[in-house]
Homo-oligomer: A and B are copies of this chain.
Amino acid sequence: MADRYFDDFEIGERMVTAGITLTESLIIDFAMRYDPQPFHIDVEAAKASNYGGLIASGFQTLALGFRMVLETGIFRACGMGSPGFDELRWLKPVRPGDTLHSELEVIDKKPSASKPDRGMLRMRYRIRNQRDEDVITFTSMQLTRRRPS
């Protein structure tokens, strides 16, 4: 993908990423460090939980959903970080063997009033599974560089 800048994003534009399959090993490895709740690290305890089996940490699914977007290259030249996310919802459990991808839509863009080299994108993210069910949705603010003149 050619380098993109703030100026190249259009409101209403949509993108779909490639996918990644979350395995039991990846789920437990992440959760042991970052989210050691029984339903993320203990297969037997997870069976007895309200989830009925092992599920991925929502933080892992969130980070992977964003990573898949990074891999498209849309922020490679322009990404300057994010001030925040809104309305983050964990909608469906992610289980070992589930394959995730992300879909995103540009819902707003505003050039910075004070800094002429950058602008803010607002993007709607849907992280979806192999059945095209939303597992996480959120709205992000993404600070992006303007095209160098």
Interface residues on chain A, size class = 20 to 34
* Distance (whole angstroms) from the CB of A23 to the closest CB of chain B: 13
7 nearest A-B pairs in the assembled complex, by CB-CB distance: A34-B63, A59-B63, A84-B89, A85-B88, A84-B88, A50-B80, A34-B67
By DSSP majority rule, is chain A's interface helix, strand, loop, or mixed?
A: mixed
| A67 to B79 CA separation, bound complex (whole angstroms) | 28
Q: How many copies of the shown chain assemble into the complex?
A: 2
| A34 to B88 CA separation, bound complex (whole angstroms) | 18
Let me know if A119 is at the binding interface, CB within 8 A: no
Find out whether the CB atom of B75 lies under 8 angstroms from the CB atom of A37: yes
| A58 to B27 CA separation, bound complex (whole angstroms) | 19
Find out whether the CB atom of A59 lies under 8 angstroms from the CB atom of B58: no
Let me know if A39 is at the binding interface, CB within 8 A: yes
| A100 to B148 CA separation, bound complex (whole angstroms) | 37
